[in-house]
């Protein structure tokens, strides 16, 4: 069956590529087949997938931030990062500009986040860090002992509490297949996943078995990583944020079904946010002329 949203997204990305004057196609897979929605290596190397394309100083700053945040150099020539229909590059376009606000205009960033998460009644004293592909300073064994990480992570202070926003970003993606170890843990009632879920009180007991389904397993794991940080007292409050475009009806369904598994205690801690809502709030808060290019870029690009 034809994926209407993916076709629409593809048209948008090819229009974007055309506006940049890019004509070369990148390759995918072992057979190195060319696809127009995949950037050619030289274009990717120059930052064509990012809002700061043609501003080489800003592109270098973004890469430096990614390296500091990640603890290692990020491979911007990776297959997923060059694919304009995948979400790997998008957190950089959303959150590096926010990191700049954190340093240069923290009050405006605070206003943006409090407006974006108004329904959750989030109140912020100080935003302390914004990171990309973040897990924790702890070893994996101390956490979920897997490769779960947040696409982006925002940490802030409220009085004496350290609070975290663990963010997952989707674009055209649906669900991904089970890994062998992942599936074994999910279907083992005595695994860390299931024991932590029961202990947290965040889930309806009669819905616990649904969390391991293919459609829900990723939001479940992302949420569990935050719950583990709470258990370890690394943070005192946590919100799991799921960002996706309105057109991706599959991800809207993921959010609805996941929320249906949450208890009253858990519901306020899972926050679906559409791209459109993110941009709407950014447009409302970041009104200075120098912010217009970034916001217009997000509107036209996605």
Mean pLDDT, residues 275-290: 97
Asked whether residue 97 is domain-assigned, the answer is no
**Does residue 74 surpass a pLDDT of 90?**
yes
- At a CB cut-off of 8 Å and minimum separation 6, what does 237 contact? 158, 161, 162, 163, 164, 230
Helix boundaries (H) for 31-179: 41-45, 56-70, 79-82, 90-104, 106-116
Rounded CA-CA distance 39/44 in Å is 6
So what's the pLDDT on residue 196? 98
75 and 214 co-located in one domain: no
173 and 274 co-located in one domain: yes
37 and 79 co-located in one domain: yes
Mean pLDDT taken over the chain: 97
**Does residue 202 surpass a pLDDT of 90?**
yes
**Does residue 272 surpass a pLDDT of 90?**
yes
Mean pLDDT, residues 118-124: 97
Asked whether residue 95 is domain-assigned, the answer is no
Mean pLDDT, residues 243-252: 98
Rounded to 10 degrees, the C-alpha dihedral 50/52/57/59 comes to: -10
80 and 188 co-located in one domain: no
Domain holding 177, by residue range, is: 106-286+294-298
H or E stretch including 266?
Answer: helix 264-267
Partnered with residue 131 across adjacent β-strands are 153
Rounded to 10 degrees, the C-alpha dihedral 166/210/6/12 comes to: -20
114 and 244 co-located in one domain: yes
Q: In terms of pLDDT, which residue wins out, 243 or 73? A: 243
Residue 160 CA, chain-centre distance (Å), reads: 27
**Does residue 68 surpass a pLDDT of 70?**
yes
pLDDT band at 72 (very low <50, low <70, confident <90, very high): confident
So what's the pLDDT on residue 1? 65
**Does residue 175 surpass a pLDDT of 80?**
yes
Check if the beta carbon of residue 240 is closer than 8 Å to that of residue 169. Answer: no
Asked whether residue 99 is domain-assigned, the answer is no
Check if the beta carbon of residue 39 is closer than 8 Å to that of residue 49. Answer: yes
123 and 57 co-located in one domain: no
So what's the pLDDT on residue 30? 86
pTM score of the predicted model: 0.97
213 and 258 co-located in one domain: yes
62 and 191 co-located in one domain: no
126 and 175 co-located in one domain: yes
- The tokens describing 274, both together, are 């559409």
264 and 196 co-located in one domain: yes
Asked whether residue 30 is domain-assigned, the answer is yes
pLDDT band at 71 (very low <50, low <70, confident <90, very high): confident
**Does residue 2 surpass a pLDDT of 80?**
no
Tally of domains within the chain? 2
**Does residue 262 surpass a pLDDT of 90?**
yes
**Does residue 10 surpass a pLDDT of 80?**
yes
75 and 23 co-located in one domain: yes
- At a CB cut-off of 8 Å and minimum separation 6, what does 68 contact? none
């Amino acid at each position: 069956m034809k994926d209407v949203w993916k076709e629409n997204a593809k048209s948008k990305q090819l229009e974007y590529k055309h506006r940049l004057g890019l004509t070369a196609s990148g390759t995918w897979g072992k057979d190195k087949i060319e696809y127009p929605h995949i950037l050619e290596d030289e274009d990717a190397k120059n930052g064509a997938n990012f809002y700061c394309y043609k501003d080489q100083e800003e592109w270098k700053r973004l890469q430096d931030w990614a390296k500091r945040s990640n603890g290692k150099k990020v491979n911007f020539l990776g297959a997923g990062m060059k694919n304009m229909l995948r979400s790997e590059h998008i957190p950089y376009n959303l959150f590096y500009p926010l990191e700049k606000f954190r340093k240069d205009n923290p009050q405006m960033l605070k206003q943006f986040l409090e407006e974006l998460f108004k329904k959750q009644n989030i109140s912020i004293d100080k935003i302390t860090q914004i990171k990309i592909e973040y897990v924790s300073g702890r070893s994996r064994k101390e956490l979920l002992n897997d490769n779960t990480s947040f696409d982006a992570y925002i940490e802030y202070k409220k009085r004496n509490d350290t609070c975290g926003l663990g963010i997952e970003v989707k674009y055209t993606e649906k669900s991904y297949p089970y890994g062998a170890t992942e599936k074994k843990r999910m279907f083992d009632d005595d695994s860390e996943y299931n024991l932590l879920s029961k202990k947290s009180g965040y889930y309806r007991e009669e819905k616990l078995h649904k969390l391991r389904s293919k459609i829900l397993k990723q939001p479940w794991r992302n949420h569990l990583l935050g719950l583990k940080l709470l258990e370890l007292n690394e943070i005192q409050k946590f919100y799991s944020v799921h960002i996706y475009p309105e057109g991706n009806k599959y991800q809207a369904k993921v959010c609805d079904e996941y929320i249906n598994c949450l208890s009253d205690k858990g519901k306020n801690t899972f926050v679906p946010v559409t791209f459109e809502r993110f941009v709407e709030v950014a447009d409302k808060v970041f009104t200075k002329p120098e912010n217009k290019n970034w916001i217009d870029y997000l509107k036209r690009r996605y």
